[in-house]
Chain A
Amino acid sequence: MVMKKVLFIPLFLLTLIAFASVTLADNERVFDQAGLFSDTEKVELQEQAIQLTEQFQMDIRIVTTDDSGGKSARDYASNFYDSHGFGYEGTADGILYLIDMDNREVYIFTRDQIVDYFPDVTVEEILDHVYPYLTEEAYGESAKAFLSDLETTMNEGIPEGPSSSGGYAQSDNSTSYSSSTSQGELVKELLIYFAIAIGVGVISVGIMAMYNRGRSTTTAHTYLESNSFTVTNKMDRHYNTRVTQQKIQRNSNSGGGSSFSGGGRSGGGGRGF
């Protein structure tokens, strides 16, 4: 682990320099494609989002659209997030708040480690808060309510309970959680070792049991008259090719998180208005 981290520092610096220009242009936090926010709201949201981004080391984006291109709000949010390559400093950690006027739906989309901070219950609570603003067409206010709820949620850390999948907490303000999760990790690791040990034991004893009896040693060749086997006809016809592609996740310094095909975890929830 230590070696990995040491190796990672120069790599990290290099990426930082290489993407410096990109990061500058990437500073846009509010994508008001549907024109729902006033100019002052946009500036306020932008500033607040940047401040929270640094505070919690996560990407925060606010998106509005009036044309979802036939996608559901969830798919649009996920696609928007991934296609823009959002994420915090080489990780994909982040959250996206989408107001989808096409589907008339609000959606909160979370990515990778941030998923753990926003279990379904929390997402529903936030939606409860922002929903009244949306029905009154106060879209800017709804986004502000979202950011303030985000701040509260992140300060509380990863909630305990069955919906928490024990991700790695990396922010400084959740040291208490990181110690408890690392203990959980140890238990998990030991359990995995235990399962492996049981497996090896079962297989070994199984092999011994197999040796506890006489076994057949004849093969297809035993009674074959020598040189009598000839292949008279053969065919190998190629009839189809299928190619599947998988995006390789950029190497992040997060050790945890179960990853699905396509790389990374995502979560969230939405509501029509």
Chain B
Amino acid sequence: MGVVVYKCINCGGPLAFKAETQNWTCDYCLSEFTEEDVKNFINNEKAEEEAKASKESLQHSKVLDQEFDEKATGYTCSSCGAEIVTDDTTAATFCYYCHNPTIIPRQLEGEYRPEMVIPFKINRKKAEELFINWCKGKPLLPKFFTSNSELEKLSGIYVPFWLFDSNTSGKIEGEARRVRTYTRGDTRYTETKYYKVMREGKAIFRDVPADGSKKMDDKLMTILEPYDYNDLTDFSMSYLSGFFAEKYDMNQNEVYGRISNVLRNNIGTLLQGTIHGYSTVSIHNANVKLSNVKAKYVLLPVWMFTYQYKGKTYIFAMNGQTGKIAGDLPISIGRASKWFGMISASVFAALSLGGLFIW
């Protein structure tokens, strides 16, 4: 089976993409390579690879049994010869034995080839640092969460995302009230005016993301948004070197439901924002049409953290470009009750003192 290990042009050591310098560095001879160097290198090897791949896939279908083919796929590390075992959505990983970054190009062939990618901007050290800092500002976090437990697993993953473009047109209808009170003599009058309101409008949304990986928690991925799309570059397999990468296992039709909900809410919110000057507005009817829907398949960088604390596993995700963190930290009941007691007691004391001496 064909796997790709990007090798240093100078010494043959493995090459990994470095988030901090945005180029490729050899950990052995410390040579640095730009995108262009790597591309040239790839082109040279391509012809050779293709011939090899077609030959191997013939043998492959004969040898491997059916069930194993569905669940996991075996590849041979081109550096040390050991078998690389991954599941069927993994496109980039590491060899278990020699830890060389390994890319499985077959996973990203054809329809699975991403159009674009945002390369990692935050490296492992920075990600750890950002996470620890984020934890520091949390008043309800158990004290020993960051010190006592260790970062079990911290992995940089390119997660498959679908970016949707869509024209939306919507119509909302509802009732609005304007309330006015005035006093004449001894009587207070409350005047409520009732209005029927309607708004129709259209908007274009660009690059609304939804992750296309069943492994990734949709809620976590939503909180990582937004990514800065200015960093989107044409996909090259070399960016995956040194990270994990997944290919999508939910196609654009399967994530369309999520996207259309987001778009419906968005246009509804925009239209509601144009209803001004009322005391209350309640929308009874919303009608949204989506048209000209286009989806684009990209890989976006995510750091995944797994934390073990008191026997429970906590999972966090960090936007590999902006550093934004998603996930629920554990809540210390002790600290929560301490805060609660302190706040309640001081409010009670202040009110009682005020009640006795001031009013």
A: which residues have CB within 8 A of B?
A: 1, 189-190, 193-194, 196-198, 200-202, 204-205, 208-209, 211-225, 228-248, 250
Contact = CB atoms under 8 A, between A and B. Distances in A.
Interface in B38-64: none
Contacts of B316: 214
Contact of B343 (A200, A209, A239, A244): A200
Interface in B321-353: 324-329, 331, 336, 339-341, 343-345, 347-348, 351-352
A193 B343 contact: no
Given A193-B351, A216-B223, A238 B190 contact: no
A234 B225 contact: no
B150 interface: no
A244 B192 CA distance: 8
A204 B338 CA distance: 12
Nearest first, the 8 A-B pairs at minimum CB distance are A201-B344, A197-B348, A233-B200, A214-B326, A228-B204, A220-B269, A240-B194, A193-B351
The main secondary structure of chain B at its interface with chain A is mixed
Interface in B221-235: 222-226
Interface stretch (B14-22, B154-162, B180-188): B180-188
A189 B205 contact: no
Given A209-B140, A236-B197, A243-B189, A189 B270 contact: no
B274 A239 contact: no
Given A197-B347, A212-B138, A239-B195, A205 B204 contact: no
A147 B14 CA distance: 108
B347 A222 contact: no
B272 to A, nearest CB: 9
Interface residues of B, number: 68
A251 to B, nearest CB: 11
Contacts of B250: none
Contact of B344 (A200, A221, A242, A248): A200
B204 A222 contact: no
A205 B329 CA distance: 15
A64 to B, nearest CB: 29
Contacts of B202: 228-230, 232
A95 B192 CA distance: 36
Which of B225, B325, B343 has the most CB atoms of chain A within a 10 A radius of its CB?
B343
Contacts of B208: 223
A209 B194 contact: no
A193 B348 CA distance: 6
B266 A197 contact: no
A224 B270 contact: yes
Nearest to B192: A242
Nearest to B164: A223
B126 interface: no
A3 B183 CA distance: 27
Contacts of A213: 326-329
B199 interface: yes
A200 to B, nearest CB: 5
A219 B5 CA distance: 41
Given A204-B339, A217-B225, 11 more contacts: A197-B343, A201-B347, A214-B220, A214-B316, A214-B325, A224-B266, A225-B203, A234-B199, A244-B190, A244-B192, A245-B188
B347 A229 contact: no
B336 A235 contact: no
Given A201-B340, A229-B270, A233-B199, A212 B194 contact: no
Contacts of B189: 243-246
A235 B275 CA distance: 10
A237 B195 contact: yes
B355 A193 contact: yes
Contacts of B327: 213-214
B207 interface: yes
B206 A223 contact: yes
A216 B222 contact: yes
B75 to A, nearest CB: 35
B139 interface: yes
B324 A217 contact: yes
Contacts of A238: 193-195
Contact of B266 (A216, A223, A239): A223
B207 A223 contact: yes
A248 B187 contact: yes
A179 to B, nearest CB: 17
A222 B188 contact: no
Interface string B5-33: 00000000000000000000000000000
A243 B190 contact: yes
Nearest to B183: A248
A230 B267 CA distance: 11
Nearest to B171: A233
A238 to B, nearest CB: 5
A200 B339 CA distance: 11
14 contacts: A196-B347, A208-B339, A209-B140, A212-B138, A212-B328, A212-B331, A213-B327, A218-B225, A224-B203, A224-B204, A231-B199, A232-B202, A244-B189, A250-B186
